[in-house]
Structure 1
């Protein structure tokens, strides 16, 4: 999203360049209760001479604040179609479809100060007529937008680019105020005048309870309590209801008593070849290992997590989490805006790595990518972790959290000092709390479950196939012997844990599921279970996340981050094993 064509973050620049290329019709979605801000952007888009439609969303929240908008008068003032909408209730979608063919460039104009207007006229005359967004590009050049100058400077003749820069520098020399500020103030004044003409205030029927709860969730003290309550509720739903009750029913009854025995009975009679029987129903069989892991252990856990996460999104709690977490993010060398990719990492680290584009500086993007790879478990992995912690002594949860948080702070602070660049300011708009709409939550949950079934489940089966082939060739036993000093001697884990660590190179959540199966089978002591949890939490990110890091940061930084994360995971896991064994905290 954009609040201004003068973009700052990487994703804003990409969106800005697409908008100003002049090849598309623009549908601008603005916040009806913050009309002046939406109009300031609409004025900028109008200067790009692109056909546009203005959608004013969240009309219900504007009404709750007693705001009445005259849509016809606003459309006449801007010169573009204006569509009121309540997207969460699908109100206004039909009107938007009718309005798009009627999209046209805005006709309203901004009156700039003479120093800006004169330079703007001269610069527009220098730009080629084929450039539709001449006025917008000239204004960006005049405001000193280096990214815009680099972007369009590549396509212009060198003498034209030099003349544009000379004109801009001369205008700036004639003004005591930065030209970018003069341009912004002129647009904002025009936007406020238009808003004042079309908005009236009526009685406010809004109940104050939601507002009070929203403020409470951002309070420096009580907001932490609200966050603790949210985390406790997630622990109960994911760690107990899903990970214990649902997993127990599916694994022990549905798969353990019905599906797997039936599959074994059928395959033993229909498949005469031992190798193929081993592939399907052996120790590392697709039916006996991959299917229960994917559908009996992981699916109910991630399903509950996706449901809970979608509910928090729909209520509007996540932006408040960013405000509460701002101080904590400063300990990581970041600001509260970084909490959004970090929280999204609890759903999918791959997508969260991509969303680091919203951060304003390269420095913040690199640090956030590092922390996502190091210590932010994805939903599938987190669910298994909560399931394992639920049967351990209460101290195990606090030790796991303490190690994780301490390491994130130490690494974040070190990275903040080593990675060049300045920290970006924290500016964030917080929407009001909303009643959740179950249809929206269900759609988002089902969409994420579809991702899990299409993207994650095939990798579970691939990982099981790799283990089976290694075992069949005798390679797994050799690897176990080679890694025994590391897995058994250093980490203090049993030899079968090697298979879970190996498959963790493919997906951390599948490795966590291997440890979970060992724990449920009595193969891990409490100390070993906690060491395995810390190690797999800090372990190499999944293949998809690694390739996303390569795409976003480059292969050298991505590989360096991956190697660093593996080393830290093994180092911390071994040290923790010795500390827990010596102190006997878990018995």
Structure 2
């Protein structure tokens, strides 16, 4: 009896050959399941690499090496994994059966939904649309509005009103300079820690999560996953990785947590490395976009450098780590007009989570800086970093942004904002600092999560690689811009 489902010729020929090589009856394999197994079904399971029946066949079949040779040959005939080829064939047949037996009465709303769906997933229209969405959603909304309007105004408000008031009240209530420096002045809990959280980090994080919730609630994110799947396959990832990668533009710690949803350990390691290395969190992204947007050439260099490193590191990691890219199956929800209540609820929840995560750390960092200044350790660490800053072509005072960035990435971004505002970081030095800081090691909370998820060995290997690559890329970029005499 001829089977209803016919696979591509190479697979059918392979199945026929494997059936002829199988010597054991189905009873030998039936212990792995409740029902007898036809030879064709067993051959199909072996071609797809089913781990249970693969081990069974290896033990039971005397001609297993010949079976493996046939399977290897069939695999060589396709660019996609055989399990994906088989799934596509089944999907095509199921669609034919459905089309021949089901009558769909399409409404105008369904037709328009299908039109917009194809617009988002077709590479010809999908990629330009994604660029437009990210241009307005990230560059304009977060960069120009979040940083250019909200952060700038809040910073002025703190600098002219809040900080002088706090300094005055603290000086009146606390006669001891040591305690005054803990609460106020240059590195106080309120004047530095809470100022960074309220005036710089909060506006950027809230605008990002608002944009992310809008894309999520509209049903666009799953379509972006579908669109990017083929490109991400080359980097050892799948379309499912889009969610943590995009979420990483908000918070690297939250995104690293979401990598747990990825299928294979290989994919989780690659995604975690790229998040820790290349993907900036929203405060970093917002500050960098806000500072570099004044020079389109500088912004282009930063985006180009990050994209280049993302692709190269992804390709190399995919080559080094054993295994194949995971198959990607995803239920696509309908496109819809985003619901205001849902967007605001998600934005509020995520922003509140982020603030709870960072406020106690900001207080702790201010206390550590205070203790470091009292003991002289802070100045020693800054002095130790100064030769590296000079090697990168940066002012010695920029060592503070990397020391702050070690505790929190957003702290490093806020410190870079302060240095630029004070006129220390300008032109070529600003782009070198932006690239190096973006690539610099993840903050302590993200580091702890990577350690928990992947163990000490992988975490130390990632950290060492990131530190070396960050400073090396900063040095090479500075040398290249100097040789080309590029100015901004």
Q: TM-score, normalised by structure 1?
A: 0.66
Q: Could you tell me which of 156, 170, 178 is aligned with 1:267?
A: 170
1:495 aligns with 2:396: yes
Shift of the 550–581 alpha-carbon distance from structure 1 to 2, 3 Å rule, reads same
Higher RCO structure (Cα 8 Å, ≥6 apart): 2
Aligned to 1:362: 265
The aligned runs of 1:169-318 (5 Å cut-off) are: 175-178=39-42, 204=107, 206=109, 208-234=111-137, 235-252=139-156, 254-318=157-221
Residue 361 (structure 1) shift: 2.0
Q: Does 1:458 align with 2:322?
A: no
TM-fit CA distance, 1:529: 1.1
- In 2, the alpha carbon distance for the partners of 1:482 and 1:437 equals 52
Residue of structure 1 equivalent to 2:80: none
Give the deviation of 1:170 after TM superposition: 9.6
Give runs of aligned pairs for residues 51-130 of structure 1, distance below 5 A: none
Deviations, residues 425-448 of structure 1 (Å, cap 9, x unaligned): 233332221110000000001001
Partner of 1:332: 235
Q: 1:521 aligns with which of 422, 425, 432?
A: 422
Match of 1:379 among 266, 282, 289: 282
Q: 1:164 to 1:263 in 2, by over 3 A?
A: farther
Q: Which residue of 2 aligns with 1:36?
A: none
Residue of structure 1 equivalent to 2:16: none
SS at match of 1:478: helix
2:250 corresponds to 1:347: yes
- Paired with 1:496 and 1:472, the residues of 2 have a C-alpha distance of 19
CA contact (8 A) 2:236 2:324 kept: no
Question: What is the number of equivalent residue pairs in this alignment?
Answer: 409
**Where does the alignment leave 5 or more consecutive residues of structure 2 unmatched?**
1-26, 46-93
CA deviations 1:196-222 (Å, max 9, x no partner) are xxx996663525333322211112121
* TM-score between both structures, scaled by the size of structure 2: 0.78
- Take 1:165 and 1:562, find their aligned partners in 2: how far apart are those partners? 47
SS state of the match for residue 376, structure 1?
coil
Q: Provide the aligned C-alpha RMSD in A.
A: 2.6
Measured against aligned partners, the alpha-carbon deviations of 1:360-387 in whole angstroms (never above 9, x if no partner) come to 2222121111111111112222222222
**What does the per-residue CA deviation read over 1:122-159, in whole Å, with 9 as the maximum and x for residues that have no partner?**
xxxxxxxxxxxxxxxxxxxxxxxxxxxxxxxxxxxxxx
Specify the alignment match of 1:395 in structure 2: 297
Query: 1 CA distance for matches of 2:463 and 2:351?
Result: 27
Matched, 1:434 2:336: yes
Counterpart residue number, 2:446: 545
Aligned with 1:221: secondary structure? helix
Q: Hey, what's the Cα distance between the residues in 2 that align with 1:458 and 1:261?
A: 23
As a proportion of its length, which structure holds more helix? 2
How far 1:306 moved relative to its partner? Answer: 1.0
Residues 1:412 and 2:276 are matched in the alignment:
no
Q: CA separation in 1, counterparts of 2:378 and 2:445?
A: 24
Q: Which residue of structure 2 lines up, in the alignment, with residue 573 of structure 1? A: 474
- In 1, Cα distance between equivalents of 2:280 and 2:335: 27
Once residues 453 and 410 of structure 1 are traced to their aligned partners in structure 2, the CA distance between those partners, rounded to angstroms, is 34
Distance 1:517 1:168, change over 3 A: same
**Distance in 2 (alpha carbons) for counterparts of 1:179 and 1:344:** 42
